[in-house]
Structure 1
Amino acid sequence: MNRTVATGAACLVTVVALSGCSLLRGSDGALPAPSDPPTATRTAEATPTATPDGGSDADLLEASATPVAPTPVPTEAALPDPVLTAIPAGTVLSEGDVASPKGSIHFHYRVVADGDDTFTAQYSGVTSTLPVPIDVGFFERSRQVGDGLTYHGVGDVVLGGPTSAPLATSVPLDGSGVDPSGLVTLVVSSAAQPGQADVPVEIATDKVLAVAPVRWSVPARQTNVHPVDGGARANAAGQLTAATASGAPRSYTVARNDLIGDVAARFGISVKALVWLNEGVQVFGDDQYLYEGTSLNLDPLAR
């Protein structure tokens, strides 16, 4: 090989190397995540030989060095939007009758779907012989008659004072999430004014007057978001802190240096889906670091 050929070959190697760098970029111009470099192997330099069509191996090498456009990598914009099917409007999810131990309070309740992932509690036939208004709310755990409340539950509403004419009212269950079945108890408490005179201690302000278990019949929901834990990894090394009844990931605690893209990849979902599961989640820096200690929801039914 003379000096001219050698110089040409060196230029060719340089072009191939630079072309290879450009091919590493995806369709959006971004570089892929770092990976372990391949093990270097040494090969003998081939001597050009004639080919049947009169060309040589050098010609074939030159032809193969022509850059080929890479296959476009799917971007977040190309992925489907996360969805959770809504329960049809008017679907009754729970209903029952409530009565206080001494029969002073009676009413019927039911919870219906509004068709947009919200729910309404409906109360009818409300009667009470007590000399104070009563308050009703849903709770995530049981209470006992005689307990004192500092919190009035989800969807709490005052149903009025003593009445023999049945009352009816409806109230949205704000704060119940997209699956209200975690609210297992309906609690009736006294809504007497603090310091109200001549009120017996058993019906004083915030005293629990009646308790009823709530039984739900919630239709199955369909979603295209199905997180699966692929295991801790660089920039996604936090702890899985809870699982659903079926064993699927439910919540995750962010570790130091966790990136939102790597956490999403750990659970096999898109960043778009992770943000959908955690409305208002915050990140910082160009690489979108998550704040250490943040608890992320991974259950579509717990949004």
Structure 2
Amino acid sequence: MIRTVATGAAALVTVVALSGCSLLRGSDTALPAPSDPPTASRSAAPTPSATPDAASEGDLLEASATPRAPTPVATEATVPDPVLTPIPAGTVLTEGDVASPKGSIHFHYRVVADGDDTFTAQYSGVTSTLPVPIDVGFFERERQVGDGLTYRGVGDDVLGGPTSSPLAKSVPLDGSGVDPSGLVTLVVSSAAQPGQADVPIEIGADKVLAVTPVRWSVPARQTNVHPVDGGARANAAGPVTATTGSGAPRTYTVARNDLIGDVAARFGISVKALVWCNEGVQVFGDDQYLYEGTSLNLDPLAR
């Protein structure tokens, strides 16, 4: 997902307020001219249609002299702030035991919520008989023992070298987003130094030593951001490139001439909510154009 730096919430609010207003047009129909006063040749008792009622005519003239107030238009300032209820602190989201195929590595892990949309991985009872330090990290894809890593995963941390005394450690799960359940595998790899002498190739630097599937139990969360695709339109003509399990739009790719206000309107959310889902999104120009090819997140749980 491409993310860049926002130009500022105030500018966004101003743009949306201006682009959202629809001024009322004045009436193009002229008021009827007052009837001529009665003359001697006319009936002393003119019909109502010949002479407008004085009170009615006065009301019309007064109304034409007093401009009508424009209909109030909703702006970003009146839109509720987007929210996502946090998972209570201390909630255990997953836990299990890890063991390498040959029994050289053992430990217990669990992930707990910190209560502010961040999470901590806790490792306990860690033992290893290998002559190299071991690293642990979470991955979005499955891995195989013996694979070589070029990336050590989310929340990667070195648990230490050979030990016969169980150790415990807590590690912030940085990079998981507000919903870590997309991390499906816990991987233990070798933290040996590249080119380290006397280290067998199977436990060399970045070799996968153990793989454990991760099964999450994440409580349901509440949000007031519910995007629904209203269909391509002028200044919001890009494609939806992914959907959630429920079929809601998840990611959108910006097309040429897309405006941030029109893209938000296409999905039935505020500009404020779109920026909240895409921290650092960049716009340019007075009309707040988005950069073509930018991928926008529409899922509050994938922030």
Same fold (TM over 0.5): yes
CA distance in 1, matches of 2:274, 2:100: 45
Q: CA deviation at 1:221?
A: 0.6
Residue 162 of structure 1 is matched in structure 2 by 162
Deviations 1:30-58 (A, max 9, x none): 465789x9xxx99xx89968469832876
Q: Which amino acid aligns with 1:114?
A: D
Unpaired runs of 5+ residues, structure 1, are 1-27
Deviations 1:86-130 (A, max 9, x none): 001100000000000010100000000000000000000000111
Give yes or no for contact 2:250–2:297 (8 Å, CA) kept in 1. Answer: yes
Deviations 1:274-297 (A, max 9, x none): 110100100000010111111000
Cα distance change, pair 105–222 in 1 and its aligned pair in 2 (3 A): same
CA distance in 2, matches of 1:125, 1:161: 14
Residue 213 of structure 1 is matched in structure 2 by 213
Instruction: Find the residue that maps to 2:54 and give its secondary structure.
Output: coil
Q: Which amino acid aligns with 1:213?
A: P
2:115 maps to 1:111: no
Q: Judge which range, 184-193 or 63-72, deviates more.
A: 63-72
Residue 223 of structure 1 is matched in structure 2 by 223
Cα distance change, pair 114–31 in 1 and its aligned pair in 2 (3 A): closer
Give yes or no for contact 1:50–1:57 (8 Å, CA) kept in 2. Answer: no
CA distance in 2, matches of 1:54, 1:295: 65
Cα distance change, pair 134–265 in 1 and its aligned pair in 2 (3 A): same
- TM-score when normalising by structure 2: 0.83
> How do 1:25-40 residues align onto structure 2 when only pairs under 5 Å count?
30=18, 32=20
Instruction: Find the residue that maps to 1:287 and give its secondary structure.
Output: coil
Give yes or no for contact 2:259–2:288 (8 Å, CA) kept in 1. Answer: yes
Q: Which amino acid aligns with 2:206?
A: D
Instruction: Find the residue that maps to 1:224 and give its secondary structure.
Output: coil
Instruction: Find the residue that maps to 1:265 and give its secondary structure.
Output: helix
Q: CA deviation at 1:245?
A: 0.3
Residue 122 of structure 2 is matched in structure 1 by 122
Deviations 1:252-293 (A, max 9, x none): 011111111111111111111111010010000001011111
Q: Which amino acid aligns with 2:176?
A: S
Residue 176 of structure 1 is matched in structure 2 by 176
Cα distance change, pair 63–29 in 1 and its aligned pair in 2 (3 A): farther
CA distance in 2, matches of 1:141, 1:29: 44
Cα distance change, pair 60–29 in 1 and its aligned pair in 2 (3 A): farther
CA distance in 2, matches of 1:223, 1:29: 24
Residue 186 of structure 1 is matched in structure 2 by 186
Q: Judge which range, 59-68 or 106-115, deviates more.
A: 59-68
Q: CA deviation at 1:158?
A: 0.7
CA distance in 1, matches of 2:301, 2:236: 23
Q: Judge which range, 71-80 or 111-120, deviates more.
A: 71-80
Q: CA deviation at 1:70?
A: 2.3
Give yes or no for contact 1:133–1:161 (8 Å, CA) kept in 2. Answer: yes
Q: What is the count of residue pairs matched by the alignment?
A: 271
Cα distance change, pair 29–74 in 1 and its aligned pair in 2 (3 A): closer
Identity over aligned pairs, percent: 81
Q: Which amino acid aligns with 1:93?
A: L
Residue 131 of structure 1 is matched in structure 2 by 131
2:153 maps to 1:146: no
Q: Which amino acid aligns with 1:54?
A: D
CA distance in 2, matches of 1:30, 1:62: 32
Unpaired runs of 5+ residues, structure 2, are 1-15, 36-46
Give yes or no for contact 1:236–1:259 (8 Å, CA) kept in 2. Answer: yes
Residue 16 of structure 1 is matched in structure 2 by none
CA distance in 2, matches of 1:56, 1:182: 73
Residue 61 of structure 2 is matched in structure 1 by 62
CA distance in 2, matches of 1:187, 1:56: 87
Give yes or no for contact 2:184–2:213 (8 Å, CA) kept in 1. Answer: yes
Cα-Cα RMSD: 2.6
CA distance in 2, matches of 1:173, 1:31: 41
Structure scoring higher RCO (CA < 8 A, sep ≥ 6) equals 2
Q: CA deviation at 1:75?
A: 1.5
